[in-house]
Amino acid sequence: MKIHELREQKANRVAEMRGLVDKAETEKRDLTDGERGRFDALKGEVSGLEVRIGQRETLENLERHAEATPVGGTGGVEALEARYSIGKAIDEFSRTGRLTGAEGEFAAERRSGRKDSFSAPVSLFLGGERRYVGTQQPAAGPGGALVATNLGPLIDRPRPNLAVAKLGATTLTGLTGNLDLPRQKSSGTAKWVPEHGPATGSDPQFEKVSMGPKTVTGKYEVTRRMMIQAPQIEQVLRYDLGFILAQALDLAAVMGTGANDAPRGIKGTPGVHRVPGAFADPQKPTIAELDDLVATMTSLVEDADIGGSTGFLAHPAVKSTLNRYRGADGALIGVAGIFKGEPTAWSTQVPANGGTSTNLAQIFYGNWPDLLVGYWSSVDIMLNPYAAEMADRGGAYLHAFLDADVAVRHPESFVFTDDFPTKALASSVIQ
């Protein structure tokens, strides 16, 4: 008997035991002799099933290690991750409760500690949100199907750019416990002394930046037919489910407040400067006013002796607006002219209505390697075919979990404004 069948039998017997107790408690009485006999019999069956499950788990763990190809002989971890197939992993795990090949090797090396889940490489994905993955959409959703007589490549939905990695955020992987990063707050002082005079002591001051795992999750409903028929399941699972986890992490890295179990991002970090627009016409800044705004933002970082890989991040509406600016001679000034050639990234994750009205966008500037993104886990995939609503459908819930956190190394490394107008310019602005 397969291990998932044994687990299902155990779950059914535990549910029956709970039903006996709940019924007696509802009727405010003790268990009858017959109920006690049935309860004890179920308890014995559960104990026996636990022994069999343990034996199966031990055997399959040994088989998993025996069937896995050593990493060192196949090009290292990157080569292993390149051979990993989400579709194959889902299919094998749903049928046998174990994985073989590259999928089994990765799961053996990066086990999540759960017997009902397996691990998938973070590198497969580009962060809860629940989706339905089947051959037909739910009745309430849009029409369409993934299975057809002749089915071409799946047309992906529009997706926002994931910006912080592009700009150079520092990635920390393989973390286990909570992470404290010492940060030097101030240096000592150097003083001139006369010949043979004593040195004056002074002490540097230190503080720390702390990071700890926070969980982002996504949930799909996968139908039995989807797993059998849809040739795009690998693409759907890898690029959609994985992407929403990464998207949630990318958003938190910039906009996270630290509330509701989410990370604290740049905007929510105390000490990060906010620069007001200070435009004479709030809806139509001049080129000179934009130059002042950019100079103020960049100088706040430079004056703190922060340097490295700096750049701007904003909503694409900011780019569209800036590219309408021209000088008195009609020559295009645009993004490169306003931002003085600094690297830029554009993402709809950054609000276009983050100021005091829906016409005001946010612009972030900083030294992006000082943004730390830490990973405590692979993308852990849990296949759950035992939910009551799945039992009579033959499908399963597919849960994905990612443990990560964000921290800013130095608050002085970043600055933002939320006063940039994006919708009020009826024509190109002339200097």
Write the Ramachandran bin of 334: left for phi over 0, alpha for psi from -120 to 50, otherwise beta: left
Q: Say what percent of the chain tops pLDDT 90.
A: 14
DSSP string computed for 131-152: EEESSB--TTS---BS--SS--
- What are the backbone angles phi and psi of residue 337, rounded to the nearest 5°? -70, -45
Which part of the chain has CATH 3.90.1690? 122-192+200-431
Chain mean position to CA 399: 14
For the segment 135-152, what is each residue's pLDDT rounded down to a tens digit? 444 444 443 444 444 444
Tokens in use for 95?
């049928």
**Average pLDDT estimate for 292-312:** 88
23-27, 79-83, 197-201 — most confident range? 23-27
| Residue of higher predicted confidence among 153 and 279 | 279
Q: Which of 291, 342, 333, 312 is nearest to 416 (CA)?
A: 312
CB atoms within 10 A of CB 87: 18
For the segment 337-363, what is each residue's pLDDT rounded down to a tens digit? 999 889 999 988 888 876 455 678 899
Q: Which fold has domain 122-192+200-431?
A: phage-related protein like fold (3.90.1690)
**Average pLDDT estimate for 153-157:** 45
Whether the predicted pLDDT of 331 surpasses 80? yes
Q: Residue 277 and residue 361: Cα distance in Å, rounded?
A: 11
Find out whether 270 and 413 touch, Cβ atoms under 8 Å.
Answer: no
Whether the predicted pLDDT of 297 surpasses 90? yes
Q: Residue 201 and residue 186: Cα distance in Å, rounded?
A: 14
Whether the predicted pLDDT of 396 surpasses 50? yes
Find out whether 313 and 363 touch, Cβ atoms under 8 Å.
Answer: yes
